[in-house]
Amino acid sequence: MCEGGKILSHLKNHLDDPRTSIALVSFQAPTTLGSKLLEKKPSVYFHGKSWNKWAEIHEIKGFSGHADQTDFNKLLSPIAKTSGHVRLVHGEPESAKALASELTKLGFKDVKPVRRGESVTLT
């Protein structure tokens, strides 16, 4: 729901970049930042500032935010061989490592959780 954690830093750094796509998976409770990102408005307010919503915002319905790895793998498997880098930006470190391992088994070549302070260049 984009209310805390690393996602806020990622949004601050990339929300106003039209090359960015943000996928919101599962339910976004009313009045949360996640629900505000889904609104058809040009900006969103958080952390004391109004931010331009130039990134593409995508809503993926029908998944639990916590437990649908099989369905998640089915969704992603068609792009596994053609995608570039995958950086996992959500979840506890052990869970992110486990997901990275599963995505690698699907055929994604460069998957890993981001590290604090890591910089990733998007091309």
Most confident of 31-35, 70-74, 92-96: 31-35
Q: Kindly indicate the confidence band of residue 123, based on its pLDDT and cuts at 50, 70 and 90.
A: low
Provide the pLDDT for residue 121: 74
Measure the CA angle with vertex 24, ends 79 and 99; round to 5°: 55
Name the amino acid, one letter, at 70.
T
> Which pTM value belongs to this model?
0.55
CB atoms < 10 A from the CB of 80, how many?
Answer: 17
Q: How does the average pLDDT of the chain come out, rounded?
A: 87
pLDDT digits (tens, 9 = 90+) for 23-63: 998 888 889 999 999 999 999 999 999 999 999 999 988 76
Q: Half-sphere exposure of 92 toward its Cβ, with a 13 Å CA cutoff?
A: 3
